[in-house]
């Protein structure tokens, strides 16, 4: 049997028997992996320090005949200590990782690992707004999962215009011009930006905080409707 070595992020941990744990990892190049960490709950267990939550770990495992692989090695690569020292950021991190765990399959692509790692890095920065992180995260998650709203044209295939108000139709994922619409062209511009820009570049946009909350509410509604998480 061949040992696989890869970077991984813990998505969930479940105690098993007296001293073991079943751990679900999101890996950088092997999708989602469920592994049995034998004896990890014993004191001085060699694997324990390398399967920390809210961290990037290097793990080694051997695939068997069952759906569970067997962990053979684990080493901490990067621990996001600023997250765990703040309860709000800790709870937000676990909630976002839970969403990834819910929508990913075992053969998921490495884009989910990149999303998780970039989200943890952003949450580890105390200066980065958590609402902006969640807006970016949910937008990326929808995009990766194939549920992207039309942010360029209305249902008549007319380009969306600056200085215009719009209503959003959840079923068709399209904005329609309406004089009393809940969304301005600036909201739509922000929704475009969170799909194509990094969080670092988004933070540099002056006045962005005034538009994050309505956009987050909309994107959260799309996520719940299409991804059911």
- pTM of the shown model: 0.93
Q: Are 122 and 199 in contact (CB under 8 A)?
A: yes
Per-residue confidence in pLDDT tens, the chain, 229 aa: 678 999 999 999 999 998 999 999 999 998 999 999 998 888 788 888 888 899 999 999 998 777 889 999 999 999 999 999 999 999 999 999 999 999 998 768 899 999 999 999 999 999 999 999 999 999 999 999 999 999 999 999 999 999 999 999 999 999 999 999 999 999 999 999 999 999 999 999 999 999 999 999 999 999 999 999 9
Q: Could you say which DSSP state residue 2 is in?
A: P
- For every residue of 25-80, DSSP letters joined together read EEESSS-EEEEEETTTTSTT-TTGGGS-SSEEEEEEEE--SSS-EEEEEEEEEEE-
């Amino acid at each position: 049997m061949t040992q696989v070595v890869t970077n991984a992020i813990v998505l969930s941990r479940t105690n098993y028997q007296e001293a073991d744990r079943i751990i679900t990892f999101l890996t950088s190049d092997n999708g989602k992996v469920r592994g049995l960490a034998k004896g990890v709950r014993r004191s001085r267990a060699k694997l324990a320090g390398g399967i920390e939550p809210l961290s990037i770990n290097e793990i080694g495992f051997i695939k068997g005949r069952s759906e569970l692989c067997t962990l053979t090695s684990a080493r901490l690569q990067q621990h996001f200590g600023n997250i765990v020292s703040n309860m709000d950021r800790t709870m937000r991190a676990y909630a976002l990782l839970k969403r990834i765990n819910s929508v990913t399959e075992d053969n998921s692509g490495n884009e989910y690992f990149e999303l998780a790692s970039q989200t943890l890095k952003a949450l580890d920065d105390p200066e980065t707004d958590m609402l902006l992180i969640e807006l970016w995260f949910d937008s990326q998650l929808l995009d990766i999962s194939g549920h992207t709203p039309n942010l360029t044209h209305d249902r008549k295939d007319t380009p969306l215009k600056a200085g215009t108000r719009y209503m959003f139709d959840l079923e068709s994922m399209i904005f329609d011009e309406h004089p009393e619409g809940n969304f301005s062209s600036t909201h739509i511009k922000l929704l475009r930006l969170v799909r194509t820009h990094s969080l670092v570049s988004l933070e540099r946009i002056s006045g962005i905080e005034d538009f994050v909350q309505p956009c987050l509410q909309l994107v959260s509604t799309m996520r719940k409707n299409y991804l059911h998480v």
